Amino acid sequence: MALLPPMKLSDDDKLEVLRRLDQFRKWNSLEEKRYCLVCASIITGRRIQIIGGTRGTGPLRMICPTDGCHSIPMDWVRPTDEVLANMSVLQSNNGSDPL
């Protein structure tokens, strides 16, 4: 099943949608960054995709902009030094540990 194309919104409208739909973290600007725990990418509010809507395409929702990643706001954390260090250690362990 193909995903819906992202909506095109003005900066003000997109920031308002981010604030309304992300119940986990506050957005102050579209330049704020989040770390996606699913795909290990740093994303900005400007790049986050808004899909869905009122034309029979389901509820309005946000997904990660990274190709192949369909994570949602609960999967995104602020990229603090501690978070990035922990994820780096986990990725190093996974890369050197044979299955």
In tens, the pLDDT along 26-54 reads: 999 999 999 999 999 999 999 999 998 76
Domain extent at residue 83: 11-87
- Whether 19 shows a pLDDT value over 70: the answer reads yes
Q: What is the pLDDT of residue 99?
A: 39
Please state the rounded mean pLDDT for residues 16-26. Answer: 94
Q: Is the dihedral of CA 60, 66, 72, 78 positive or negative?
A: negative
Residue 57 lies in a domain: yes
Q: Is the dihedral of CA 89, 93, 95, 99 positive or negative?
A: negative
Residue 21 lies in a domain: yes
pLDDT digits (tens, 9 = 90+) for 72-87: 999 999 988 887 787 7
Residue 26 lies in a domain: yes
- Whether 1 shows a pLDDT value over 50: the answer reads no
Which amino acid, 3?
Answer: L
Residue 69 lies in a domain: yes
For the question of whether the overall pTM of this predicted structure is more than 0.85, the answer is no
